[in-house]
Structure formats: C-alpha cells, structure tokens
Structure 1
C-alpha cells in the first residue's frame, strides 16, 4: 500500500501534467513538485474590507518609495549648491542605490521566512529616519548618510510588490500591479517637475520640501501598515520550524558573500571615471574582488550550503522561466537607466531650466504609467496577450523607440517634438515590460518564494542599471573631453575668440550651466556665447546618440531572450497565496 506522502506527490504530478494547476505548498521540499491549490480558493478569492484596507496600506508604502526616487534626481545639484559645493555629491544617488540593492533580496528572502508585516513597518520607520536626517542636514556627508539609510528602508518598502500579489488570485495579479502603478502615477509623471519647482520657486533650501513630503508619506504608510496589514505572522518558508531555529539555520555565509560582492561591485562602478581613472587600482581591485565573491557565492549556494538562501527550486528546471526573466530584468534595468539621462539631454540640447526640464519629462512619465497599467489589464487575457507575448511586445516597442531617440538633434526634424514622441513610446514600452515581467516572475515561483523572487527581479534591474549608468556616463564624459574643445573653438574662432586659455573656462561654465558666469568672461559677446552654446549642443547630441544606441542594443538582447522564454500564462488561476489574519477573524465573527 502506498504511503500518504507518495500518494499526494503522485496525484499532484499527474494533475499538473494534464491541467497545470498553480503552485501550492503541500510538498514544501525544493523538488519542483507542484501541489494542489487549497480547497477554499474560491472563497479566498473574494475581495472584502480587510483586503481593501491592506491593499491601501501597501499602495501607500509603494508610493512612498517611488516619491523619493522620482524627485531626488532633479534636486541633487541644488543640494550640492546649498550645502557644498563638493566634487562627490553624486554619491547622494550612488549611496542609496548600493544599500537598496543589498536590502532588496534580504527583505524578500527573510520575509518569506519570518513574515512580511514587521519588515515593511521597519522599512517605513527607517525611511522616515532618513528623511529626518536629510531635513536637518547641514553638509553633504550627512546627506549621503541619509541616502544610505533611505536605501535600506526603500528595499523593505518594495515588498509591497510581492505583498499585493499574494492577497489576490493569480489571475488578478496583473490588475493589482496595474493599480499599484496608478498609485505612483503623480510622482512617476510629475516627479521631475515637482523637484524642479522646489528649487526654482522656494530658494536655496527649497530641496528640503522633498524630505518634508517624504516624512508625511512615510508616517502615512507606516501607520496604515500597522493598522490595516495583517498577513500571517510567519512566512511559508518557515516550514514547521520556530523562528529561532530558522534564524540559526539561515545561510549567513551565502548572505555575506552576496552582499560583499554587491557592495564592492557597485562601489567600483561609482569610483570608475569619476574619483579614479578606469585603469586605476582603486577601481580594478574592488571590481576584481567583487567578481571573486560572486563566483564564491554561486559555488556555495549550488554545492555547499545546507539550507541555501536562494532556493534551488527557483532555478532547477526553470531555465526558460525564472532565470531568463532575471536576464531580461538586468538588461531592461540598464535600458531604464538611460531614462535618467533624458533630463540631462533636455538641458544639453535645448537649454532647459528646471521647470522646462520637468515639463519635458512629463510625456515619458505618462508613457510609463499608461504602459504599466495596460500590461496589468491585458496580460493573460488571451493567447494574444500571453506573458511571453507581452514581454516580446514591450521589448519590441523599446527597440524601435530607443533607436529613434538616438537621432536627436538640437534643431530641425529630430529636435524636441521627435524626442518627446519617441520618449513617450520608449517609456510606454518600459512600463509595459516592467509589469509584464513582474507578473511573469511571480507566476513562475512557488508561493513560499514569492518575496525573494519578486525582489530578486528588482535586484537584477538595479545591478543592470548601475552597470549601464557607468557605461552611459563614460560615453558622455569621453565625448565632452574629446570633442567639446574642438567644436567650440571652430565656432568662436571666426568671431575673434580663439585663445585656448579663454575657451577652456568658457566650456567649463557652459557644461555646468553657468550661463551668467560664461557671459561675464572677458571678451564674450552675445554672438560668441550663442555660437559656443550651439556648438556644445551638437557635442551633447553626438554623446546621447551613442547612449541611446547602446540602450537599443541592450533592449535588443532582452528581446531575443524574451523570444526564447517560456510562457507562464497557464498559472493565472483562481489560486490565492495568502489569507490575512483579520480576514479569518472576520469570518469567525460572522459564523458566531
């Protein structure tokens, strides 16, 4: 007579082969065996007051994380002017990027074991602390410290992406992610404009408004999470152990190897080309050591760890699903990094002030919001919009758009209207790809690994972004150094301004947008100033042409990977991963 465990496994295997039902947790071993959904899925799929309130709290947490990232890029230089000036203010962005990349997989994996609620509440408190530190800061080092803290908090807040998915049926995950995109809409669309308005209309210290808003949103999200979000107190990866047993069994060696590798890799990219030349030991040494740590981490997780942090079930037999989705996320993260250079392109090509830059960023933000919402609504609704097809559509749109943007010029056919139009289309593709990829990853993993899988996707995008930002910055700096002097000299020499010692400070001031300082230089006339600015615009245009050609090549790689990836639309069923604790209490009251 067969043992009960064997019978269950055989039934699950047979059912999966015929009907491919969703993952469950009857068998929690990392064998890749899929189990039946719970028998009360139909009842758990209904929406109720407890779920709506929890989704509101999770939406507030997501909006909080988005707000700070959307505005900070526009005010970094203003912060340096007010509290500096320094030569290292870009670490305001690098610092938060490094710590958020560390905290993303940690928050995802640990919350799968110990439960999500207190990780998210702690993330809100940490994020609040960072905003308070920034609000009180009197120098750039303190601001960088606040950015380090903010990155840790934002990684935990991004758990909202996994938390909303597990509260609704698999076939509604796209819709709920679309709604989450709408929550971030004001900042995605108007973040750059809001940041610009802070510094234009509110003086030298107007940047502090960003952190006042951050404190308000953090308090709102933390309070609502505390009162409205009540998931199970433990995660599904706890698997019958006590929390203390799970903590002792945690893969501390793997976590150390991973985090040291990530930190050294991102620090080396931040130092290269800025603090040190790329061939300097200060760049090569941490980069080489980081690669060694990554290799050691891979060997440890695959062969040596007794209880690996990265569940083998995520990768075994998932070569064309989860693993390829991470590859796509890496390249799309790098492509999305090019978006951050759009504001710089606007300033360089069309001499935009902060308000104009913000206005010209609105079409791109609208494209991202519309694309994300459309993907969430359409994905899985028919074979035409299978998960695989959605990824192909999104990357296809981006290939065309990014190569079209590469034709940008200061004047003529390929100037502002061209850039705004294809910028909208490019970001529409980005939004569509982001939500499609998120839903695909969440459908390709077991319920117990949902947090880790979701935030690993964000980690891959973050590392891709950091890598390509370095490439883009190197391209721009190379072109400015190589061509700016020659182009400007050719433009102003016929006007009588041909002494090299005078041209160098002129170029420096124009690159740094100090137009008044440039106009005040000895011998500068309005005609000479205009000729120099126009020449520099074409240098910027050449640099951004290479940036967006590189972005197009990256998204073309993502497109090829999407073509060979596996469709997971069959997993879009009525299965619900998690039931809130207060839902159960509400049901018990109704029954009594």
Structure 2
C-alpha cells in the first residue's frame, strides 16, 4: 500500500510539471482559495524600483501638463506664430505611437534601456524648451517630450509585472495616488510666470530637473529581466530577433497613427476640413490600418505588433480599448476645453493666478480619484461594475455641463471636478483587467501600450472634433447674438468693425471701434459669452453619444476572476535574483 501511495504521489507530481502554467494555475486555484493564501512579501528593492517608475510617471505628466498651461505665454514671447499649438500637439503624436511600439519592443528585448531612453529624451526636450528662442525650437522640444513620453507611459506595465498578481490593482492605485504633485502642474506653471524672472522657462527647467532625477532613480533601482534572461531558454541573439520583428506591421502602425493624428490636428485649424491636406492623411491612415489588420491576421508572424489573439478576447481586451478611447476623449479634451471655457465665462482677464486655479480644476478631480484608486478600487473587486458606474456617471455629468450658463459658476466648478474624478479610475482599472486577462504575460507591454495608445488617440480625436464644433458654432452665432445685444445701446459705428473686435474681446480692442460707448462694450462682451455658451452646449451634447458607446462596452467586459489574483509574479528584478542566488 505504501508503494502504491508513493507511485501515485510521483505520478501526480509528473502530471503537475507537465501541465502548462495556465492549467496549473487554474487547477491549483480550484483547490486553494487565494484569499486565504499568506500575503507575499514585496522586497525593498522592488519597492524602490516601483518608486522610480512612479517618479517617471510624475515627470511624464509634468511634460504633458505644464507646457500646455503656458502655451499662450510662449507664443506671446517667441511669436506670434500660427504653428504654436504644435508645441503640445507633437507630444500626443509621439506618445501615441511610441507607447505601443516601445511596449512591443520592450516585451522582446527587455525594458530597462527603453525607459532610460524615455527619461533622457524628455530631459533633452526640457533643455531645448528652456533655452528655446523660436516657436520651431519649442516644437522640437515637444517632439522630444512625445518621444520620451511614449516610453515613459510603459511604467504601468513595468510596475504590474514586478509585483504578485494580487497586488497589481493596489500598485496601480499607488501610482495614481502619487500624482498629487503633478496634479498642481497648471497652478505651479502660473506661479512660475507670476513670481519668477524667467517666467514660463522655469516650467521647462523644472521638468529638466525632474527628468534627470528620474533617470538617476531608474539607473540605480530599476533592473528588470535583461535580454539574456528573457531569452535564456531559446538562446536567440538580438540579430535573430531583429530579423523576426514585424517590420511591415511597425511601419504600417506608425504611419497610420501619424497620418491620422496629423489630419485631425490640421482640420479646421491649419486647413479647412474639406481640403486635401486633411482628407488625404485621414484616408491613407485608414488604408494603413486596414492593411495592418490583414497583415497581422494572415502574415504568420513570430512577433506581431498587434497580436490577433488579443483582439479576439473581446471581454478581456477589445471592449476595454473602447472604454479607454472614450475616457481619453473626455480627459484630454477637458484639459483643452475647460481652461478656454472658464477663462471666457468666469475668470477676470488680468488675474493670472485665478486663471491658473480654474485651469487646475480638472487636476483637482484627479486628486479625488487618486484617493479612490488607492483606498477602494483594489479591494472591492467587481471591476466590470466599477467601469460601468464611472462611465454612467461621466455621461450623466456631461449632460450637466451642457446646461451651464454664464451665471452658473458654482455648478460648472463642481461638475468639472466630479467629471474629472470619474474619468481617471477607468484607466488603471483597464490596465489591471487587461494584464490579468492575458494568456501570456510576455505580451503585457504591447497590451497595456495599446490601451494607452487608444486613450491618447481618443484625446486627439475628441480635441479636433470638439474644437471644430465650438469654433464653427460660435462663428454662426456671434453675429446675430451681437446684433441683438447692441441694438439698444446707442451704437452708431460700423457693425463689421465691432464684430471684428469680438475676436480679441478686450477693452483695448473695442476702444478702437468708431462710435463705441461703454454700454456697447458691455453688451458686446456679454454677447461673446452668450455665443460661446451655446457653442459649448453642442459640444457636450455630442460627447453624451460617445459616453453611451463606452457604457455599452463596459457592460460587455468582465471582472477579473479571484483565482487570477494570486501570489504568482510575472518577473523578478535581476538584483533580487542575484541576492537569492547568493
């Protein structure tokens, strides 16, 4: 009997060894409730590596937020130049492309040097911006920021694979919570302008210092599996892997994203929407994406840039792409729309600090969301219903934004803050749901990178659509509104000259109009506000439709199974393995 028992035990051990990791995990989870497992220890070295990734995320946010906040001051100092919006547009262009491409390359070759490249590139961008003497130089700074930002946004995938699966959502919550400093980026930027001699340049020097500190932290503490460790089983060389890369897919993806974003950003700003400069890039971009899809499915690729197996998992991956696309539409567009809306309707023109406070309202909402992400999100589970709740709340609150008038300051402030608070959590929720839904953790870089790319492209699409809507709607409404407002003010001058003065909407501009009087100036300024109220209302009504799509996608996703929130860990730091070996 003893011999039979020993043979049975050995047979079970062999069967366990022969099962795939996924099968072993599933089988073990059926026998063991992970909630009762002893909580694993996270070493000091891992914590310091995650701290370096948090610093990288902070520096990434500063390069996004601060230049956007001082854009008008840069143009006033170095311009005027109609190309000045490209100082920040290039950030979106670069980051949206690089985060997926870089994520895929890092999955194959190792992450350390890609992240260091991101920090160094962003530091160089800050240096170029701090010393820039023309708008063209500032655009170069934006390109370097975008290139570096794409690598830096890989931090969410990098941090998750370093901790046990049960701590992934908690780690994401901590990373979001840590962005309290960068959340005050707009206000810090306006403080630099108000209280420093170098003005807006101080923002770039601040970013330079932060990026340098980040690079040092990464160099010292972040040592993920090296190339040799990743390929210790297949023994492939770097050159072999370079030849096996999806070169055509890389070019098609890069070209498609670049042309789509260029067309959207040119439309209605640099060129009319119907011009060849806008239509041709967008059409070619869609052709590139179509060719890319066919190539990825039928190309029999070793390392596809867009693994088809991911997109087949609708509930675990594709539905979350849609959710994050719409979330990005709201987040990045709010950072453009709200400062414009608040400065037009509620902020005194000569109060720089108050303008900074209003511009910071979106960030105040993210601070509230950060507390949720660290105290509630990781522990309640039911990720699907968390997503649904936030998307429903966002969509409903956008309806509230559509009802804001020129005297609804309190409603506007409260709504913007709550909308921003509801907008942030879907991203870390999606990052965690995607990573834990993968069949192979070797794809975590490209999977999480695609979530980030869709979020960034969603922001670019929304910014183009929304800005086009409110500018065209305002252009249609301002003339009849102005005529109605000034008809009883005793204005005897040229109406066309008065209409032209509304473009600047300043007292100095109105003073140059012949026949003007104080009552007409006051009525004209009110007409501008009324016209913009109607224009922004249409924008928010359009946004509701996108919110409904996101709600439907969130409903079709699914929560992460408790069996996947185990003590398993995807990778270990090289420094930890060296210690264990010793």
Asked if TM exceeds 0.5, the reply is yes
Equivalent positions of 1:491-502 (< 5 A) are 491-497=485-491, 499-502=494-497
Q: Which residue of 2 aligns with 1:423?
A: 416
CA distance in 2, matches of 1:266, 1:365: 25
> 2:521 aligns to what?
529
User: How far has the Cα of 1:183 moved from its partner?
Assistant: 2.1
| Deviation (angstroms), 1:260 | 0.7
Is 1:8 aligned to 2:36, yes or no?
no
Kindly indicate whether residue 185 of structure 2 is the aligned counterpart of residue 191 of structure 1: yes
- Cα distance, 1:130 vs. partner? 0.8
1:541 aligns with 2:533: yes
What corresponds to 1:131 in structure 2?
A: 126
Q: CA deviation at 1:201?
A: 3.7
Alignment of 1:226-245 (within 5 A): 226-234=219-227, 238=231, 240=234, 241-245=236-240
Residue of structure 1 aligned with 2:311, choices 315, 323, 328: 315
Look up the match of 1:31.
none
When residues 235 and 489 of structure 1 are mapped into structure 2, their CA distance, relative to the original with a 3 A threshold, is farther
Query: Are the counterparts in 2 of residues 236 and 448 from structure 1 also a CA contact under 8 Å?
Result: no
**Counterparts of 1:532 and 1:199 in 2: how far apart (Å)?**
30
CA spacing shift, 1:12–1:565, aligned 2, 3 Å: closer
Asked whether the equivalents of residues 492 and 532 of structure 1 are also in contact (C-alpha less than 8 Å), the reply is yes
Instruction: Name the counterpart of 1:30.
Output: none
TM-score w.r.t. length of structure 1: 0.89
Secondary structure of 1:321's aligned partner: helix
Structure 1 residue 403 corresponds to structure 2 residue 403: no
Instruction: State which of 43, 56, 80 in structure 2 corresponds to 1:48.
Output: 43
Unaligned runs of 5+ in 1: 23-36
CA distance in 1, matches of 2:62, 2:31: 38
| CA-CA distance at 1:115 after TM superposition | 0.8
Cα distance in 1 for residues equivalent to 2:384 and 2:228: 29
Match in the other structure for 1:179: 174
Give ranges in structure 2 of 5+ residues lacking alignment.
1-10
Q: CA deviation at 1:10?
A: 6.9
After superposition, what is the alpha-carbon deviation per residue over 1:267-288, rounded to whole angstroms, capped at 9, x for unaligned?
A: 1111111111111111111111
1:215-249 CA deviation, whole Å, 9 max, x = no partner? 10010000110011111113987562222211111
Q: In the TM superposition, what whole-angstrom CA distance separates every residue of 1:290-341 from its partner, at most 9, and x where no partner exists? A: 111110000000111422222333233x121111111111111112233121
Going from structure 1 to structure 2, the CA distance change for 1:396 and 1:20 (only over 3 Å counts) comes to farther
Q: CA deviation at 1:151?
A: 0.3
Residues 93-137 of structure 1, C-alpha deviations (whole Å, 9 max, x = no match): 211111111111011111111111111111111111111111121
* Contact 2:160/2:168 (<8 A) preserved: yes
Once residues 409 and 154 of structure 1 are traced to their aligned partners in structure 2, the CA distance between those partners, rounded to angstroms, is 37
- Spell out, residue by residue over 1:456-478, the C-alpha distance to the aligned partner (whole angstroms, 9 max, x if none): 10100111111111110111111
Q: Which of the numbers 378, 381, 388 marks the counterpart of 2:384?
A: 388
Whether 1:299 and 2:294 are equivalent positions in the alignment is yes
Greater mean deviation of Cα atoms: 141-150 or 568-577:
568-577
The aligned counterpart of 1:210 is 203
Distance 1:58 1:356, change over 3 A: same
Which one of the candidate residues 334, 354, 357 is aligned to 1:356?
A: 354
Q: Is the Cα–Cα contact under 8 Å of residues 16 and 24 in structure 2 kept in the other structure?
A: no
Pair 1:208–1:292, CA change in 2 (3 A): same
1:196-230 alpha-carbon deviations (Å, 9 max, x no partner): 23334446x51111110011001000011001111
User: Any idea what SS the aligned residue of 2:516 has?
Assistant: coil
Q: How many residues align?
A: 559
Question: In structure 2, how many angstroms separate the alpha carbons of the residues matched to 1:351 and 1:408?
Answer: 15
Change in Cα spacing, 1:251 to 1:6, as seen in structure 2 (3 Å) is farther
Deviation at 1:515, TM superposition (A): 3.8
Q: Which moved more, 1:6-15 or 1:293-302?
A: 6-15
Of 255, 265, 278 in structure 1, the residue corresponding to residue 273 of structure 2 is 278
* Greater shift in the superposed pair: 176-185 or 305-314: 305-314
Which of the residues 283, 286, 293 maps onto 1:288? 283
Take 1:377 and 1:321, find their aligned partners in 2: how far apart are those partners? 24
Q: Which residue of 1 aligns with 2:373?
A: 375
- Find the partner of 1:141 among 136, 142, 157: 136
Q: Deviations over 1:404-428 (max 9, x none)?
A: 11111111xxx11101111121111
C-alpha distance in 2 between matches for 1:554 and 1:237: 41
Deviation at 1:351, TM superposition (A): 3.5
The answer on 1:95 being equivalent to 2:90 is: yes
TM-score between the two structures when normalised by the length of structure 2: 0.91
Deviation at 1:381, TM superposition (A): 2.8
The C-alpha deviation readout for 1:13-32, integer Å capped at 9, x for no partner, is 4762784799xxxxxxxxxx
